[in-house]
Amino acid sequence: MKRIYKAYRDLLGVLYAEMPVTVILVPLVAAAGGVMRVISIWVNGSVLNLGLSVASGSITLAAFAPYLALFAALKIVQPLLGDLFMYVYAEPRSQLALRTAYKGKMLQKLKRMKYEHIESEAGKEIIDKAYNRVESAARHLFPMYLRIAVTSVVGAAGTLWLFASVRWWMVLTIVGPFIIETYVSSKTNENIYQEMEGYWKREHSYGLLGGMLRSREYVKENRLFGLSGYLVDTYRARLNSRNKEYERYYFNNLRKKFTGGNITIAAQMGNALILLWLCYSGSLDIGMTISLTVALFNTLMWDLNGATHLFRWGEFHIKSFDYYEKYFNLSDDRRGVIDDPPTSCAVEFDDVYFKYPGTDKEILRGLTFRVQPGEKVSIVGENGEGKSTMVKLLLGLFEPDSGEIRVGGIPICEYSRAALQRMFGAVFQDFTRYNMTLKENVAAGDIGKLGDKAAITAAINKAGVDEFVGELASGTDTLLGRDFSGGVDISGGQWQRIAIARAFMGEKPILILDEPTSQLDPMAESRLYEEFAEMSAGKTAIFITHRLGSTSITDRVLVISGGRVTQSGSREALLVSGGLYADMWNAQKQWYDTKGGEAHD
């Protein structure tokens, strides 16, 4: 009960701020619907009795006419209140308000949330369930379930009063079996929701698999390799497996459902026989006998079920609000208060240890190094040695378990998020291709300068985007990507140049290349690194790579192995000293040979 109260308190609080009149009208209209149900039972009985009187000549048609008019009015007004107001106005109106209020709050929270929650399995489940379920849950709770509850409580109370006026103990013969059935059903229903909660990981994977079938990124190769049929079969097989699990659960609980679902049916039959006996004995007229019998099998059962509908079927939706609360309880990214980047941008890792939240494997184990201001450093190592993890820590996306990271002699945690954004320009291995204009794609590196044409042009020219921007129909205003109408595709290399331009927005003092060229051949990668080194003149630059052609254009090379720096020095010195770097170079040097000579020696 406490959870239901809290969910409605939060929900109605949000809705009342957006549409106070609708929030007030919904329960009033719902209550009016319940009153009309009770009046209809009395009117139906009266119409039957008076109709028989008209047929026998006891009363005139004129005396009967007002009851017919009231009967017709109720038949017209009830659907108007129940369907037209609720489903045509109140529900769509509340959906728009909820979409604006809830999704807006959630997106604001996402901006503040610690990055680790977005990568962790537990965090992804909370985010997915809260973001994708809360709107649907809110729509069910208001106005749907609230309308059902209010209408049903009023209607059931009034109808039971009519039965009590016939024989007071009939309330017990009707409500008693219903309470027993409700108790049995609530236990089964709660178990159903608990069972469904366990399906999230599989449901999430089905969504990813479905995306492979319809996304533009996959369709081309699906068609080329005839993969669509395999993916469809895989999707169907996994879905069927899930359905069979649920069917097993359903049939295992079928006895409970059968028992619970037939208690009120037996009670209805018994109470109908009581009404017939009362009619036969002359204690109840034929009109009310028929009207109450119809109500017993229809509206009264609907109202009793509706009065408890929220408790019987609201568990799933209330759980969605639990996840909504968990979502907002996810910790925020608490940064420091220093808003200005340092004038001297030395980068230091001091005995840093780190493992990803929820895992036991240490990725970094005592990582220690220093990059001098203006120095260009290559950080190399085999895949999985923690190079990209180190970048995430440097950018403040994760916090080290122990040790300290400093920029300009100040711990990274003391800088504000705004300071970090002005401090670092990064190009990642999986850089983002925004379906926006070219100008917006570049300005994303410092979105506050979206209106600064000179800054955007400087970044475009520095990254070499100017070499192809003139070929685009609308220049920098050309919409890129095909997700929106009018968008155009550009090559992977051109997207790469745009990602580099993004890093140069805002004159950031520290530039990072985190293997954004891994899809290029080694010679092309090496040339791009040379260009980037020239572009980053006067700045601190960190090159992350597991291929060594780029190391010839940096001042120093750091070799990471086992989560720590195992070698440090110039390329030439490391080749002479031997060790992992020399082994890696000897394994890769044929990639850089041109006509028998090394390209970078």
Q: What is the pLDDT of residues 574-586, one digit of tens each?
A: 999 988 888 888 8
Residue 245 has pLDDT above 90, yes or no: no
Per residue in 391-443, pLDDT (tens digit) is: 999 999 999 999 999 999 999 999 998 899 999 999 888 888 999 999 999 99
- 11-15, 70-74, 172-176, 270-274: which has the minimum mean pLDDT? 11-15
What is the three-class DSSP state of 236? helix
In-domain check, residue 69? yes
- Choose among 354, 432, 386, 375: nearest CA to 546: 386
Q: Could you tell me whether strands 376-380 and 540-545 are parallel, antiparallel, or unpaired per DSSP bridges?
A: parallel
- What does the pLDDT average to over 467-491? 90
The pLDDT value given to residue 25: 92
Q: Could you tell me whether strands 593-594 and 347-354 are parallel, antiparallel, or unpaired per DSSP bridges?
A: unpaired
- 52-61, 155-164, 581-590: which has the minimum mean pLDDT? 581-590
Residue 594 has pLDDT above 60, yes or no: no
Give the total number of structural domains in the chain: 3
Q: Could you tell me whether strands 376-380 and 402-407 are parallel, antiparallel, or unpaired per DSSP bridges?
A: unpaired
Q: How far apart are CA 197 and CA 318, in angstroms?
A: 13
Q: What percent of the chain has pLDDT over 90?
A: 40
Q: What is the DSSP letter of 574?
A: H
The pLDDT value given to residue 225: 67
146 backbone dihedrals φ, ψ, rounded to 5°: -65, -45
Mean pLDDT, the chain, rounded, equals: 85
What is the three-class DSSP state of 344? coil
In-domain check, residue 523? no
Ranges 8-17, 196-205, 365-374, most confident: 365-374
Contact (CB, 8 A) for 543 and 550: yes
Shared-domain flag, residues 208 and 282: yes
- What does the pLDDT average to over 286-296? 94
Shared-domain flag, residues 256 and 184: yes
Per residue in 493-549, pLDDT (tens digit) is: 889 889 989 998 988 899 998 876 655 556 666 677 777 777 778 889 998 887 777
- What does the pLDDT average to over 97-101? 82
Q: Among the three residues 302, 329, 356, which one is the final residue of a domain in this structure?
A: 329
Contact (CB, 8 A) for 364 and 565: no
In-domain check, residue 127? yes
Task: Give 489-553 as a DSSP string.
Answer: ---HHHHHHHHHHHHTTT--SEEEEESTTTTS-HHHHHHHHHHHHHHTTTSEEEEEESSGGGGGG
Residue 596 has pLDDT above 50, yes or no: no
Q: How far apart are CA 124 and CA 327, in angstroms?
A: 10
Residue 599 has pLDDT above 50, yes or no: no
Q: Which ranges of 140-253 does DSSP label H, i.e. alpha helix? A: 146-166, 170-197, 200-214, 216-225, 228-252
The pLDDT value given to residue 598: 43
The pLDDT value given to residue 353: 96
Shared-domain flag, residues 145 and 130: yes
In-domain check, residue 575? yes
Does residue 228 or residue 569 have the better pLDDT? 569
Measure CA of the first residue to CA of the last residue in the chain; give whole Å: 75
In-domain check, residue 64? yes
Does residue 179 or residue 217 have the better pLDDT? 179
Shared-domain flag, residues 323 and 416: no
CATH of residue 282 = 1.20.1560.10
The pLDDT value given to residue 454: 93
- What does the pLDDT average to over 124-148? 86
175 backbone dihedrals φ, ψ, rounded to 5°: -80, -35
Kindly state the tokens that stand for 237.
Answer: 């097989």
Q: Among the three residues 486, 509, 532, which one is the final residue of a domain in this structure?
A: 509
Shared-domain flag, residues 456 and 370: no
Q: What is the DSSP letter of 7?
A: H
CB atoms within 10 A of CB 381: 24
The pLDDT value given to residue 595: 45
Q: pLDDT class for 23, splitting at 50, 70, 90?
A: very high
The pLDDT value given to residue 253: 63
Shared-domain flag, residues 317 and 345: no
Shared-domain flag, residues 195 and 293: yes
Shared-domain flag, residues 78 and 37: yes
The pLDDT value given to residue 318: 81
Cα torsion at 168, 169, 175, 181 (round to 10°)? -170
Exposed e or buried b for every residue in 145-169, given b needs 16+ CB within 10 A?
bbbbbbbbbbbbebbbebbeebeee
In-domain check, residue 179? yes
The pLDDT value given to residue 106: 87
Residue 259 has pLDDT above 60, yes or no: no
Shared-domain flag, residues 416 and 439: no
pTM (two decimals) = 0.71
- What does the pLDDT average to over 94-120? 86
The pLDDT value given to residue 111: 86
Does residue 243 or residue 106 have the better pLDDT? 106
Q: What percent of the chain has pLDDT over 70?
A: 88
The pLDDT value given to residue 315: 72
In-domain check, residue 446? yes
Q: How far apart are CA 505 and CA 445, in angstroms?
A: 5
Residue 160 has pLDDT above 60, yes or no: yes
- 187: domain range? 2-329
Residue 277 has pLDDT above 50, yes or no: yes
Shared-domain flag, residues 455 and 585: no
In-domain check, residue 502? yes
Does residue 75 or residue 82 have the better pLDDT? 75
Ranges 52-66, 367-381, 417-431, 513-527, most confident: 367-381
Shared-domain flag, residues 398 and 460: no
With a CB cutoff of 8 Å and minimum separation 6, the contacts of 137 are 316, 317, 318, 320, 321
Q: pLDDT class for 601, splitting at 50, 70, 90?
A: very low
Contact (CB, 8 A) for 320 and 137: yes
Does residue 316 or residue 286 have the better pLDDT? 286
Shared-domain flag, residues 443 and 453: yes
Q: Among the three residues 278, 307, 329, which one is the final residue of a domain in this structure?
A: 329
CATH of residue 378 = 3.40.50.300
